[in-house]
Structure 1
Amino acid sequence: MTEHAKNEEDALEFECDLPDAPEKVWRALTVPELLAAWMMPNDIKPEIGSRFAFAGPEKPIECEVLDAEPGRLLRYSWRERSATDDSNGLDSIVTFTLARTVSGGTHLRIVHDGFVQAATPAVAMAGAACRLSLRAHKPKPPVAANAPRLLLRAA
């Protein structure tokens, strides 16, 4: 099995249409204060090669921007380690793809490769017309909530 095929089987995919323009969604993904409002405190800089961290619950989550096309694409590595065991954790890739809809809003697609088998997915639909796809053979059931609309409240 190729690495790409493995990642596709181990990905959490989430898609929805938002009423806000891609420029506003981009700000919610790339301005540290706005991103912190729906994720965690961070020091993101949306520049390829830029390293940043989220203030994780136990230890910082180390990230590196792999691709950044303003208003269109943001991809970064996600390295999360256990507070007690640095050899155990989650090494994955998070990709946000934004496309302008006919109405001027944004079609947002989020893919978290390498996530499903390493962690229990925490997902929500909370009133946003969204589609979730767990592409693992035996995914664990969704257990928590966090809606994409949260990312736009402060943007």
Structure 2
Amino acid sequence: MTLKENAKSAADSLEFECELPEPPEKVWRALTEPKLLAAWMMPNDIRPEIGSRFAFAGPDAPIDCEVLDAEPGRLLRYSWRERPEPDDASQAFDSIVTFTLDRTISGGTHLRIVHDGFARAATPVLAMAGAGCRLSLDAPQSKLPVAANAPYMLLRAA
């Protein structure tokens, strides 16, 4: 597993790459089925169809999203719009999250996650990112709020 900044990506992008033993179909379900996605991220109403809008129940305010690209088992890209409550001093920011899934020779998944526009607005998470990308399809559920590519992210697929 590696954590790296992609030279071709914007300076405020985070990129994570992980090798998972599970096949892309199982990883895709963990990214696109609301209950499974909620198990490692946040409650949501995702529908993996281009143009569909959904929201994550963020810790402070909803995170509004729209599916920009969806190729089952291969690619999921959506906008990520955080809007803090009016009395919150945090700044709103818009970003794009991209999940790319490639089947490995062994039948597992090479998962690449890029969160464009996230790093500039989330310096505290960057401090945690140095630990690398930790993904587990069978790990216990985390109670910590996470961004789309936080290093302690947990995938939990049925």
TM-score by length of 1: 0.78
Question: What SS class does the counterpart of residue 9 from structure 1 fall into?
Answer: coil
- Where in structure 2 are the equivalents of 1:34-73 lying within 5 Å? 34-73=36-75
TM-score, with normalisation over the residues of structure 2?
0.76
Could you tell me how far apart the structure 2 residues matched to 1:49 and 1:127 are? 30
2:24 aligns with 22
Give the aligned length: 133
Distance between the aligned counterparts of 2:118 and 2:56, measured in 1?
17
Equivalences for residues 4-153 of structure 1 within 5 A? 8-83=10-85, 84=87, 88-120=91-123, 121=125, 122-123=128-129, 124-125=131-132, 145-147=151-153, 150-151=154-155, 153=156
**Aligned mates of 2:106, 2:117 — CA distance in 1:** 33
Structure 2 unpaired stretches of 5+: 1-6, 136-149
Give the gaps of 5 or more residues in structure 1. Answer: 129-143
CA-based RMSD of the aligned residues comes to 2.3
Runs of 4+ in 1 over 2 A off after TM superposition: 84-88, 120-128
Residues 7 and 114, structure 1, Cα contact 8 Å, conserved in 2: no
Distance apart, 1:90 and its partner CA: 1.8
Kindly provide the CA deviation profile for residues 123-142 of structure 1, in whole angstroms up to 9, marking residues without a partner as x: 354766xxxxxxxxxxxxxx
Separation in 1 of the partners of 2:115 and 2:26?
21
Quick one: structure 1 residues 126 and 112, their matched pair in 2 at CA, closer, same or farther if it must change by over 3 Å? closer
- The one-letter code matched in structure 1 to 2:101 is L
